[in-house]
Chains A and B, each alone.
Chain A
Amino acid sequence: MRILHLAEEEFGGWLSVPTMNYVAELLNIQPIEVYEVATFYTMFNIEKPGNVVLEVCRTGPCMLVGSDNIIEYIEKKLDIKVGGTSADGMFTLKTAECLGACGYGPMLQCGKHYHEHLTPEKVDSLLDTLRKEHSTSSN
């Protein structure tokens, strides 16, 4: 599992079939054994996402404090639906089940970081920062 996390980090943020085959080869196991693990756990991306993946928590406690509004706001702003990637390939929006930040919602996860107590203003500034960071790093 740790190897899959590493592989995902190394190979552009997702697990393609060749990547999974490579992992199987390294571990000396059948490729199918890697596929079944990779598809079971929601954290592994088996389709290529945008540069930045935003995962908004949609479960009960966050919903009570308005996660739906945040999801809707991001959708409008980036002109995408949940599961989609923005036209410039920058952002992918996903929803996640409980991320263990129930007391600090609404919240979203981006990479290894949590962003909590979200408001539309905070989302704006977060998206701006992320856009800047990722356009400079890819140049």
Chain B
Amino acid sequence: MGRKLLLEHADVPGIETYEVYRKHGGYRSVEKALKTMSPQNVVEEVQASGLRGRGGAGFPTGMKWSFLAKPEGVPRYLLCNADESEPGTFKDRYLMEKIPHLLVEGMITSSYALGCNQSYIYIRGEYMWVLEIVEKAIAEAYANGFLGKNILGSGYDLDLAIAPGGGAYICGEETALIESLEGKRGNPRIKPPFPAVKGLWGCPTVVNNVETIAAVVPIVNEGGAEYAKIGIGKSTGTKLISACGNLVKPGVYEIDLGLSVEEFIYSDEWCGGIANGKKIKACVPGGSSVPILPANLITKNAEGTDRLMTYESLAEGGFASGSMLGSGGFIVFDEDQCIVRNTWNFARFYSHESCGQCSPCREGTGWMEKVLHRLENGKGNMRDIDLLAEINKKIEGNTICPLGDAAAWPVAAAIRHFRDEFEWHVTHPQEAQTRNFGIASHHMPLV
């Protein structure tokens, strides 16, 4: 059985209330940090832990914190990114729904470390009921003296507020999130200046994922060095993986980084194998924006060594034969799934969610969607496949934020690994059409 740092008490009845959470060791990290540690000590512990951003990019959290500018007399802000909208990812929702106080506790400890007196949790608008759960937890924290003025008599003040989003994937990008929090359209900003220097309302700001902030709690409690003992190399600690698709047991799992992919998919302790006794065809290991892996590259890399659930191991082979751990949205496809159809589906998602600021992304995602729709419906030709690759190259790296890359990578990887399937759609137009049902066949008639 895996060790659990974040979800240890997730199934205790009533854990969403302050009393029960406190009884199970809740808010210890706040007491420890405020009474015995300086803010700098906390930052050092997080640096020592090797914790990396859990939102997808995997940037070392301690380093991010150390970049925060600290000019005199200017407020600093900590924002929690709970805009989880990457298809395949639902770990943050699970965490906030089950054990909201863990996030609140993490926010207090982290805000103390960064010297913020006002922090925000930005929750996606669709999670309205989650917002109510977290709001209740915050009210309880205020009532028990963990938020507000002079917390635990330490002289440290902190206010914590929640802001709801409005249903825009792009607001998970940190500068778009800041724009949105300021009450504007979620258009990402050009960097630099980075948020660490100029973020919310022009002040130094740190944006962290829900899971990252929650992980600060065990790091402060047990010490960064202890946390760093879990995992392999630069992938330390535990990670929440939200597994979905054609699995026997989809759901949210907390794993030690370094678990083998094979064990994660097939062991009864985790996902329990592929549903309905089918075989695995492909896997997207880190949310829809990362490259798809074909069956032969999922559990082993191109050299034949076992793939592990770490940032490095999943990336082995680069884009040619690897992928990314990303946000931990683990999507598994069984042998009956159509890759072209799925690629089109994701392309439609990115086309819908592009904010429209940069032309390569605004136009390119739309083109890709149309070309893929054509292919999927048996109306494409061989040139379309190369056309897709070409559009891809024009988007990648040419946009302000990574949404362009996120839209381009899955398409490029799908063509790289499943070109024969794309070609089949061209050479068998009749079959390609009759295999369609639902949306593709009648909501979007081909024109």
In-complex Cβ contact of A60 among B163, B250, B331, B355 (8 A): B331
In-complex Cβ contact of B180 among A1, A36, A68, A109 (8 A): A1
Pair A42/B165 contact, Cβ less than 8 Å: no
Pair A105/B244 contact, Cβ less than 8 Å: yes
Pair B329/A102 contact, Cβ less than 8 Å: yes
Pair A100/B84 contact, Cβ less than 8 Å: yes
Give the interface segment out of A91-99, A118-126, A129-137. A91-99
Nearest CB in chain A to that of B444: its residue: A82
Interface residues on B, range: 35 or more
User: Given A41-B125, A43-B125, A99-B126 in contact, is the A64-B169 Cβ separation under 8 Å?
Assistant: no
Pair A109/B439 contact, Cβ less than 8 Å: no
Encode contact with A along B123-163: 1 for CB under 8 Å, 0 otherwise: 01111110010000000000000000000000000000001
Q: Give the chain B neighbours of A1 by CB distance below 8 A.
A: 125, 163-166, 180, 183
Question: Is A37 engaged at the interface, CB distance under 8 Å to the other chain?
Answer: yes
Nearest CB in chain B to that of A2: its residue: B164
Q: Which residues of B (334-386) have their CB < 8 Å from a CB of A?
A: 337, 341-342, 345-346, 349, 352-353, 355
Q: How far is the CA of A41 from the CA of B353 in the complex (A)?
A: 10
Encode contact with B along A70-90: 1 for CB under 8 Å, 0 otherwise: 011000000001100000000
Question: Is B27 engaged at the interface, CB distance under 8 Å to the other chain?
Answer: no
Closest 3 CB pairs of A and B: A68-B438, A41-B166, A43-B167
Known: A1-B166, A97-B353, A100-B92. 6 other contacts (CB 8 A): A1-B164, A41-B167, A63-B342, A97-B352, A100-B90, A102-B242
25 sampled A-B residue pairs with Cβ under 8 A: A1-B180, A37-B185, A40-B166, A43-B165, A44-B167, A58-B345, A59-B87, A60-B331, A61-B87, A61-B244, A61-B245, A63-B345, A64-B337, A69-B437, A72-B437, A81-B442, A100-B89, A100-B93, A102-B88, A102-B89, A103-B242, A104-B90, A104-B250, A105-B244, A112-B132
Chain A residues with CB under 8 Å of chain B are 1-2, 4-5, 36-37, 40-44, 58-61, 63-65, 67-69, 71-72, 81-82, 95-105, 109, 112-114
